[in-house]
A and B are shown apart, each in its own frame.
Chain A
Amino acid sequence: MTRLATFFFLLLFSVLCALPAPAQGPQGPQATLKQGVDKLIAILDDPVYKDKSRDTEKVEKLRQTISEYFDFQELSMRAVGKPWLKFTDKQKDDLVDAFSDLLEKTYLGRIGKYDKEKVEYLQELIEGDKAFIKTMIVAKDKQISVDYRMVKKDRWMVYDVIGEGVSLVKNYRTQFAGILHSGTPDVLIQRIRDKVKDIDEGRADPTKDDIFEAKKESS
């Protein structure tokens, strides 16, 4: 009798131990994040892309890798917040498209400045389908804290990046809230599209030298 009880206890115990493992899927959030970051670094380090003429190819590859690990849908929804419920399906799609375009444009420019910095993974917090990963980017003379919020759908995806305490999602929510307070979702979508256009045409910096030079050459 006692043996049977022990057997059942062991069975229950092993089942309990085994349960959380499949819930995390084949790969945990930190491992997924690391895989993505390593892929980006590999592209940036790739000597093949030292040649300036292959820049478009490189950017395209970076963009593709980012979209594999970033959940722009989740990010956009959280950046808009409650007003998201009043968006029509088309407005939702338009916003996600425009917003991911903007983020890719601005972030690709920033990753391009990568200079052999190291990424240290400090802590991984998991609860249900959410995760919080703390990392530190170690540069030559300074350290920058970068944390990630992740969500598990088919697999773990990043939906928020927190750089030195500033959350990407919350920073945009602050901006969007002001615009949505006085304007409609369409106004917001148009403002984002205008911004993307500004970046494409190099109007973000009014004193950018090469822009002046390019104009001189064309005239």
Chain B
Amino acid sequence: MKTTEGYLAAAVALFLLLSLFFPGLARAADPSPDQGLENCPTLAQLGFEEKEIWDDSGKRLGKGEADDVLARTPDPLEGWNRFWFQFNDKLYFYLFKPVAKGYSYVLPEKPRTWVQNFFHNLLFPVRLVNCILQGKLRSAGAETSKFIANTTFGACGLSDFANHLEPTAPTPTGEEDLGQTLGVWGFGNGVYLVWPIIGPSSIRDSVGFVGDRFLDPVTYVTPWYNSVAITAYSKINKLSLELGQYEDLKEGAIDPYAAFRDAYLRNREKKIRE
């Protein structure tokens, strides 16, 4: 008798432990309130249908298969995340945007593109290592040729002329980072996170972000405040070329926080698929 109770307790403990790591399990065990509607015979009569034949990448979905990154990525820290989302929003409109605007007033677009190309070229180690870690050897090769060509003939990467040279065979993008590599290896997002200044992320992508910094040459600039200043400058320069994009995305949103969470997670998912 005692042993059965022991087994039961062990089973419950195991289930609780598992559901902690795989939130999907708990949801599967708990019948969703929508299930009654699914069997409702009047659904077709009402002309209501929401099942898709293809997923967002155009892949044919099997029966009952609905793999949704949003359902897989819980947001238990929503209050905390919403706070930082608001914080970043204010920071953008009242600090970064005016600075980037002033900067773009002083410096014409052309030199700003050179600066952008230079910093992009500098991040070549991040792309190369992550291409290799994902087994994308052709892309790794393409990134290497681009880096060599842009660094030598492109004046230390100021010009990105190699971007216009088509590879001889179709080559998947080499824009890889460690977050994507971890995703390819099968790591889930964990939970959704919003960081101050950095913005939307997840546990997996945060780990990736920190890991990638080891391959970013700017990290090794000393003293540390010079490194921070260079990073800040490259970000402001990048922003000056992308002014209005954030506003465009935010403009149509009823709940901007939810809209950006959805967009971030789905866009990352697409990058991991590629």
Contacts and interface: CB of A to CB of B under 8 A. Distances in A.
A175 B163 CA distance: 37
Secondary structure dominating the interface of A: helix
B262 A175 contact: yes
A78 interface: yes
A175 B57 CA distance: 21
Contacts of B56: 147, 162, 165-167, 170
A152 interface: no
Contacts of B70: 170, 174
A149 B93 contact: no
Given A130-B53, A147-B56, A205-B93, A174 B267 contact: no
B254 A125 contact: no
A85 interface: yes
Nearest to B260: A171
Interface string B244-274: 0001101111110011011100110111010
Q: Quick one: which of B34, B70, B247, B263 has the most chain A CB within 10 A?
A: B263
B238 interface: no
Interface in B217-261: 247-248, 250-255, 258-259, 261
Contact of A192 (B54, B94, B160, B254): B254
A186 to B, nearest CB: 14
Contacts of B7: none
Interface in A155-210: 162, 164-167, 170-172, 174-176, 178-179, 188, 191-192, 195, 199, 204-207
Nearest to A140: B164
Given A77-B48, A162-B56, A174-B70, A109 B262 contact: no
Given A171-B263, A207-B94, A134 B254 contact: no
Nearest to B90: A206
A207 B247 CA distance: 11
B1 interface: no
B34 A82 contact: yes
B267 A110 contact: no
Interface range, B side? 35 or more
Contact of B54 (A78, A85, A102, A125): A125
Nearest to B93: A207
B146 to A, nearest CB: 14
A141 B164 CA distance: 8
B50 interface: yes
Interface string A120-160: 00010101101010100000010001010100000000000
B52 interface: yes
Contacts of A103: 252
B61 to A, nearest CB: 11
B252 A134 contact: no
A49 interface: no
Given A110-B248, A204-B247, A204-B250, A179 B58 contact: no
Interface of B: 34, 37, 43, 46, 48, 50, 52-54, 56-58, 70, 93-94, 97-98, 160, 163, 247-248, 250-255, 258-259, 261-263, 266-267, 269-271, 273
11 contacts: A85-B37, A85-B43, A85-B46, A166-B56, A166-B270, A167-B56, A167-B266, A175-B259, A176-B254, A195-B254, A205-B247
Given A132-B58, A192-B254, A195-B254, 11 more contacts: A82-B34, A82-B37, A85-B48, A147-B58, A166-B263, A166-B267, A166-B270, A171-B263, A171-B266, A175-B258, A207-B97
